[in-house]
Amino acid sequence: MRQGKPVKERGIHAPRLKGAQLVGLGHYAPQRIVPSAEIETAFGLEAGWIESRTGIANRRYAAKGETLSDMAAAAAEQALSAAEAKGVSRDEIGMTILATSTPDHLLPPSAPLLAHKLGLSRSGGIDMAGACAGFLYALTFADGFVRQHNKACLIVAANLLSRRINPDERDSAILFADAAGAMVLTPCEDSCKGVLSVDLTSDGSNYDLIKIPAGGSAQPFQPGMAVSETLMTIADGRAVFSHAVQTMAETASETLKACDLEIGEIDHWVPHQANKRIFGKVQQVLGLDDRQLLSSIANFGNSSAATIPFTLSHEVAQGRDLTDGDLLLFSAVGAGLTGGAVIMAI
């Protein structure tokens, strides 16, 4: 490689790092409400069994013909409208990130279609398949993009899991739901706004704990393939519980340590709404008060990556107060196993 001039000597302008300010939130859940009693009847379970073990009384399922990109667009419209009310136009969105495990198609990615539906003519678009932790990865990527490139970013996390539930497998059928959550970040002069600390992790040794067996290059679709091969399966629910609690607690502790923060200084904790017993145990381990917890699992179930931005937006819409300078802690674990924690200042 030939020796060239240093960038500074070539007169090239590089944008300085800024902060990433949250300027818009949005959420969407389909209209169809599926009570736990309906699923209990299908599996022959006693009344109240599902809610006592998961915290889920109801969940939402998409309507026939409703797509993942439809749900994502509905949540994104709310977030974009909120951003526009604060002076951030759609033309300023430089990137659209869609965190999902259930895109409209395996190919092409759904983010470009989402950006098109929203009229984001100047935005890039990319899907991120991080399972239940996908929002954390998308937020981390988005924060760096906003700071480094001085452009706004739309993050949408959405999943349509009702079409991936195996009706013969109780462990997944009782949990999963459909929803979308969205967030708009824009550059700001305060470098302390946005993501302050991140601890992301993965554990490929437990790759097969939660999966959809068929559809990838390892097991392509084939004529005569059993439908169950295309649906979600949880191999060991107890192992998932154990890994989720440990990972969420450890990564949260690492993010706090990196910022020299105590757990009591966190204003709002939004865990992935996997199962109330999981995040209840994490809450106990970390020493979080009930006042810090934001939860939507009782009436909306587990929509994988969507649960964190959905819960945050839904709670704000219900009157939860977000104040300038508040610290948010996000925690999640998902298939893969992917996981982590993020501390964000608003």
The residues annotated as belonging to the active site are: 132, 272, 302
How far is the C-alpha of 309 from the C-alpha of 93, rounded, in Å? 18
- Give the distance from CA 167 to its chain's centroid: 24
How far is the C-alpha of 75 from the C-alpha of 180, rounded, in Å? 6
Encoded amino acid at 95, one letter: M
Q: Minimal CA–CA distance to 110: which of 93, 122, 98, 121?
A: 98
CB of 232 closer than 8 Å to CB of 213: no
How far is the C-alpha of 128 from the C-alpha of 175, rounded, in Å? 22
How far is the C-alpha of 49 from the C-alpha of 37, rounded, in Å? 9
CB of 147 closer than 8 Å to CB of 194: yes
CB of 23 closer than 8 Å to CB of 92: no
How far is the C-alpha of 143 from the C-alpha of 20, rounded, in Å? 6
Cβ-Cβ contacts under 8 Å for 12 (sequence gap 6 or more): none
CA dihedral 244, 249, 254, 260 (to 10 degrees): 150
How far is the C-alpha of 25 from the C-alpha of 185, rounded, in Å? 10
Encoded amino acid at 33, one letter: I
At 96, phi and psi to the nearest 5?
A: -115, 120
